[in-house]
A and B are shown apart, each in its own frame.
Chain A
Amino acid sequence: MAGQGVHRREILRILGTAAAAASFPGFSKWGFACGHVGNATLHIKPPEYRPQFFSPSEYAMIERLSEIIIPSDQTPGAKEAGVAEFIDFMIAHDPEKQYPFRTGLVWLNSHSERLHGKRFLELTPAQQLSVLEPLGFKDKARRGEELGRKFFASMREYTVTGFYTSEIGFKELGNPALKFYSESPECPHKGDPEHLHLPQTKS
């Protein structure tokens, strides 16, 4: 193994990936459908992901929530990264999480009906945000919504995990793990060791 080039390793990795793909449930947005593999012959892209755990209406809520948590704006978001597929897949494999997720969705629907007379997905985008903000922002929290806050925190954690473990999420952060380096990377600001005078970037 010693001394083999990156090229050979890349080929082996692609072969390994293709072999493993056979055992996957057919994700439309992540895993082997991503351009990461870099080989058109390996594209495995079923027309539609079939949820393994959530019902179609539950799954639509998971999709919508993940897209609100990490939206598509100047850069791609949870939708492009297929985060709902990730959440469904993980929950399908995690019996302990199934009940809390399912009851969380039920809570959100009945809460939406209490506030606006309609189920969550039937609300306008502005109404959806007004329901979620007290759940997702500490300074907007309201009494009596503890269950909803707990569910939303869990939903946010899964969305973050699904998004930032996707290739799109790696690119969003400029994740350095996407590259190899020829020498030990070094701080480019050695004239300013305390880093008190760095150029500010637009945020």
Chain B
Amino acid sequence: MAKQIYDVIVIGTGAGGGMAIKTLCEAGLKVCALNAGRKLDPEKDFRFHRMPWDMKFRGLGDPKGESFGYMDNEYTKAAWDHEIPFTVAPGTKWFWPRCSAVGGKTNFWGRSSARFGDIDFKAASLDGYDVDWPLTYAEIDPFYTRVEKMIGVASSVQNRPSNPDGSYLPPFNFRCLDYILEAGCRKVGVPYLPDRCAQLTQPHEGHPACHYCGECTTGCDVGAFFSSPYFLLPKAEATKNLELRTNALAKNVLVDENGKATGVAYIDRKTKQEVEVYGRAVVVAAGCVESSRIMLNSKSRRWPNGIANSSGQLGRNLCDHLYGESARGYLPQLLGQPSFPDHVADSTIAWMPRWQNLNNPHEEDFIRGYSIYPDGGCSEFPWFARGLDGFGSSFKREIKRRYPTPVNFGIQAPTLRSDKNFMDLDPEVKDPYGIPVARMHFEWDENTLKMWEHSKQICAEVLKAAGGELEGSGNAPEIPGWSLHETGTCRMGNDPKNFVTNKFGQTHDVPNLYVCDASVFLSCTDKTTTISILAFTLRTSEHMIENFRRGDLKTA
């Protein structure tokens, strides 16, 4: 029997993989998608409106178990992958929950969806640090628009210099705390606006509107926010051009004697057998660090340092978002007020989009900028009670009185590209399937830590200007990795000597190998990554389809 050759093998089914799969299948290409984990069953794997008292440990998880972050909890434990380890270099801390289920982290993501702009793409020209991106905003703008129409993003037109506007569903309504903090921001001179949230405030393209239960990051069982399994993969399946293989842990890209990609070797996690699958082109979309691990592990005579790594940049230039609580406190105006559904979007109703270094790239003592996500009000659990004194009826009444009042400000600040921050393959440690694991080398840079200090001061000012009481801030930022926004390990650029891919995500060395995730981004900017992964991947996929049409890649 002749071996089957697909048009494209896609590794990963998250934002990048899902978009590539959908676009390629709809163009008539035969796609085999490899996904390291299983398909999720929303009834079992999502929170599915279970209440704390429905859970063995009230949703807090087994005290003996390790905590893996806010999304990976007792409600969704089985959906996250704890089998494939990673290591850290001495001195590095890295906290990194990973979801290898079909759809990846799009099942549980935070949904904030701001476009990158020229202020990001041309940041190097503005402030002299690092290099510009190899494309302009005008080139990617139409792809953002198409993605926004596809997935539905709730926001408003804001005319912010750092944040190009897009095509939006009606924004979330402001809650009491939003109006109060907005007034505080106005006094301090910083913006307070509806976030860009990929969560449906009205029915959209066959998907139902949100029912505002507030459980988004534990999975949406009606698909009222964008996720690959609800929005992308069904469309690919409808074409009959997709074969999805689950529990297929990609090991390495296969190459011919000229170094061209011929397929992928993967481990079937059920049988533990190594399987090969062949295609005319390969898309690596396993998530920034995992994609780089697969490519570094794809060693051959032609590519002794990993496939498409003649530049030596594969795995380098790792950037991440610093997260942390810049300020917390409460709003006395709301003491004793009736409870209000504040937690309905689970954190992303409002934002304070980057306002620093807009007129002059050096107006602050740091370059670039950060954004803030404010939140608070009546949450599922009254966390503030831990800081209250006393006991008895007065204690109980005080908890109820304070219930609508807490507020907090979370920072999202980009790191700068640094030679110190990268991933490589651990020379000794292997995963249970014998594949070398990723080893992380990372530290926060001085510029980012200055943003953290700056944010603590400004958010405290905002809270006070809003009439709030400041109670403190996080002692330190979250551990690196926490944001799940790694970028940069396969950066795109025009010069093959210094960059892994060209501006279309096509690797310079191997023309039939493409990268479709945040690893191609030159930096992580102050914005989240998912909508940009979708927009860049749509562009990459259409570039690839064009190459098939032109005959540069031959169809099956």
- Please provide the chain B residues from 9 to 44 with a CB less than 8 Å away from any CB of chain A in the complex: 42-44
**Docked-complex contact B382 and A198, CB < 8 angstroms:** no
Binding-face segment, B384-392, B478-486, B544-552: B384-392
Q: Does A95 contact B (CB under 8 A)?
A: yes
Tell whether B454 is near chain A: CB-to-CB under 8 Å.
no
Question: Is A56 an interface position by the 8 A CB rule?
Answer: no
Does the CB pair B42–A167 fall under 8 Å? no
Check B129 for interface membership: any CB of A closer than 8 A.
no
- Asked if A132 contacts B391 (CB within 8 A), the reply is yes
User: Which residues of chain B are within 8 angstroms of A187 by Cβ–Cβ distance?
Assistant: 173-176, 178-179, 340
**Cα distance, A86 to B53, chains bound together (Å):** 10
The minimal Cβ–Cβ distance linking A127 to chain B, given in whole angstroms, is: 15
The interface bits of chain A over 129-144 (1 if a CB of B lies within 8 angstroms of the residue's CB, else 0) are 1001000111000000
Instruction: Tell whether A194 is near chain B: CB-to-CB under 8 Å.
Output: yes
Check if A160 sits within 8 Å of B385, measured CB to CB. Answer: yes
**B68 proximal to A (CB < 8 A):** no
User: Known contacts being A136-B390, A137-B390, is A31 close to B395, with CB within 8 Å?
Assistant: no
A165 to B337, CA, bound (A): 21
Cβ A177 vs Cβ B343 within 8 A: yes
Shortest CB-to-CB span from A6 to chain B, Å, is 7
Interface of A is mostly: loop
Q: Which A residue's beta carbon lies closest to that of B203?
A: A3
In the complex, what residues of B have CB within 8 A of residue A34's CB?
53
Q: Are A165 and B58 in contact (CB under 8 A)?
A: yes
* B378 lies within 8 A of A176 (CB): yes
CB pair B180 A161 closer than 8 Å: no
A86 touches B58 (CB 8 A): yes
Question: Which listed residue, A2, A20, A137, A179, touches B230 by the CB 8 Å rule?
Answer: A2
Q: Which of B41-56 contact A (CB under 8 A)?
A: 42-44, 48-54, 56
A64 to B42, CA, bound (A): 41
Residues of A within 8 A of B339 (CB): 173-176
Q: Are B333 and A194 in contact (CB under 8 A)?
A: yes
- Total contacts A-B at CB 8 Å: 203
Assembly CA distance A86 to B182 (angstroms):
40
State which residues 1-48 of A face B: CB under 8 Å: 1-4, 6, 9-10, 12-13, 16-17, 20, 23-24, 30-32, 34, 36
Q: A36-B51, A73-B396, A179-B341 are in contact. Are A160 and B386 (CB under 8 A)?
A: yes
How does the 8 Å CB contact mask read for A74-93 relative to B, with 1 for contact and 0 for none?
Answer: 01010000000010001001
A182 at the interface (CB under 8 A from B): yes
| A2 and B222 contact, CB distance less than 8 A | yes
**Which positions 47-67 of chain A face chain B at CB distance < 8 Å?**
none
Checking A129, A185, A196 against B344 with a beta-carbon cut-off of 8 angstroms, the contacting residue is A185
Closest to B332 in A: A195
Assess A173 versus B400: contact at CB under 8 Å? Given A2-B208, A16-B44, A161-B58: yes
Residue B70, interface by CB 8 Å: no
Tell me the bound Cα distance from A20 to B57 in angstroms.
12
25 example contacts (A-B, Cβ-Cβ < 8 A) are as follows: A1-B223, A1-B230, A2-B206, A2-B230, A9-B221, A16-B43, A17-B54, A20-B56, A31-B53, A32-B54, A93-B62, A138-B389, A157-B386, A160-B399, A162-B58, A165-B53, A172-B396, A176-B340, A181-B344, A187-B178, A195-B179, A195-B333, A198-B337, A203-B397, A203-B401
